[in-house]
Amino acid sequence: MFNIPVKGTHAHSYVTSFSNLDDIHTVVLRHADTDEQYNLLEVAIEWRKRVSSVIDVSPEEASDGELAALVSYAIAFPSGFLALVDTYDVKRYHFRGLPSRHSRHSSMNGQIGYNSNCGSNVSSVQITPSNRSTYGSSTVERTLRSGLLNFCAVALALNDCGYRAVGIRIDSGDLAYLSVLARTTFEQVAEAFKLPWFCTLMIVASNDINEETILSLNEQGHKIDCFGIGTHLVTCQRQPALGCVYKLVEINGQPRIKLSQDVGKVTIPGHKEAYRLFGADGHALIDLLQRSSEPPPVVGQKVLCRHPFQESKRAYVIPSKVEHLYKVWWKDNRICIPLKPLSEVRERVQSSLRTLRQDIKRNLNPTPYKVAVSDDLYNFIHDLWLQNAPIGELS
């Protein structure tokens, strides 16, 4: 729909609906090229035995019900196999393999627990052989032992049938650490079975992700390829309602101005044009409002930019590029400009964001982007202000 590629995965409830291998009723998948029939379940079970020795996870640690669910899902979507791998956790053990990464803390109910979200207690994540203790793996690592083993088995079985798995989704736990663990596992399997594409399987992370979570994960050196954002995309938690106010600036060709003791509520009157002026380094410097009767700014020619209400704030700008921002999309009850495909709109937004300096886009204390008016518009605002402002009387 709207040229948006639709991809997804299954829910935890889909996995838990399978108890054992007997719950799967259809096990046959035809080869993508030869049309030969394969028993995908049998092929996956055989691969699970082979993979278990590579990633040092016993098949007995993996859930047969989960394997049945993944095989069933793979048969239904052999070209779009993106599997949820954290449905089953196992008994919690004391940490001996990763003491620096996973320190214990008391949870709200007084029980001993461990990190359950983005793992913001470190600055980076590294997996080394010394991380894997001979006394057992960490709880976080065990969270994926069943899921990763079963996924790899089904993905390799699909490969035998001429299909490429898409990847995995992680929906809980320490997302940064688990993503690194998953990528390391994929690299081990790729090397063991001479399948370079296995290294590049997609890792999707979800679990109530917002901007702060992503920034924290970026600081930790994660291996996540895609973030699945749901709640915080549908509703902006920081600003759940968009405050808008309609202001009249011109009627029948006559400019109008609203005056207020709160300068922020004073309107800029008249019909205007908007331009974006770029500096020599290609970054956007300032947006400039002008009266529509003024000639547009010219590349290489000095332009006086003024703060609309503070007389002393002004600066000359010599633009290396000028972009006209004001476009009429709707007039006389119809669309005036053909709507662009969403793919082009997306590229336009990304391209526009790249023109902003990093200090303007940073999450903490960003530099305000400047918007100014021309000298002519500045004088027009204040002349009209004086004409409309009531004259007081002292007695």
pLDDT of residue 3: 73
For residue 67, which of 8, 140, 152 has the smallest C-alpha distance?
152
211 vs 290, residue with greater confidence: 290
Whole-number Å distance between alpha carbons of 61 and 216? 32
DSSP 280: T
pLDDT of residue 234: 78
Phi and psi torsions of 320, nearest 5°: -90, -15
Instruction: Please give the C-alpha separations between residue 309 and each of 81, 158, 162, 265, 356, in angstroms, as whole numbers.
Output: 58, 66, 67, 11, 25
pLDDT of residue 1: 63
231 vs 361, residue with greater confidence: 361
CB atoms within 10 A of CB 289: 22
* Single-letter residue type at 377: L
Residue 182 has pLDDT above 90, yes or no: yes
DSSP 172: S
pLDDT, average across residues 159-182: 94
CA trace torsion 145, 147, 152, 155 (10° rounding): 180
Pairing of strands 105-106, 202-205: unpaired
Whole-model pTM: value is: 0.72
CA-based torsion, 67, 176, 6, 31: positive or negative: negative
Please check whether residue 279 is in contact with residue 315, taking contact to mean a CB–CB distance below 8 angstroms: no
Instruction: Please give the C-alpha separations between residue 123 and each of 118, 119, 222, 223, 383, in angstroms, as whole numbers.
Output: 11, 9, 10, 14, 56
Which of 45-59, 128-142, 275-289, 316-330 is predicted with the least confidence, judged by mean pLDDT? 128-142
Domains, the chain, ordered by start: 12-90+139-235 (3.20.20), 271-335+360-388 (no CATH)
* Single-letter residue type at 184: T
- The per-residue pLDDT for range 52-62, each reduced to its tens digit, is 999 988 898 89
CA trace torsion 33, 34, 40, 43 (10° rounding): -110
CA angle 370, 283, 378 (to 5 degrees): 30
CA angle 92, 94, 95 (to 5 degrees): 110
Kindly provide the residue ranges of all beta strands, DSSP E only, lying in the chain, ordered along the sequence: 28-30, 37-39, 82-84, 105-106, 112-113, 167-170, 202-205, 226-227, 250-251, 254-255, 272-278, 284-291, 303-306, 314-317, 321-324, 330-331, 334-335, 371-374
- CB within 8 Å of 233: residues ≥ 6 apart: none
Cα radius of gyration (the chain): 30
Whole-number Å distance between alpha carbons of 116 and 132? 20
- The per-residue pLDDT for range 249-305, each reduced to its tens digit, is 999 999 999 988 888 889 999 999 999 999 999 999 999 999 999 999 999 999 999
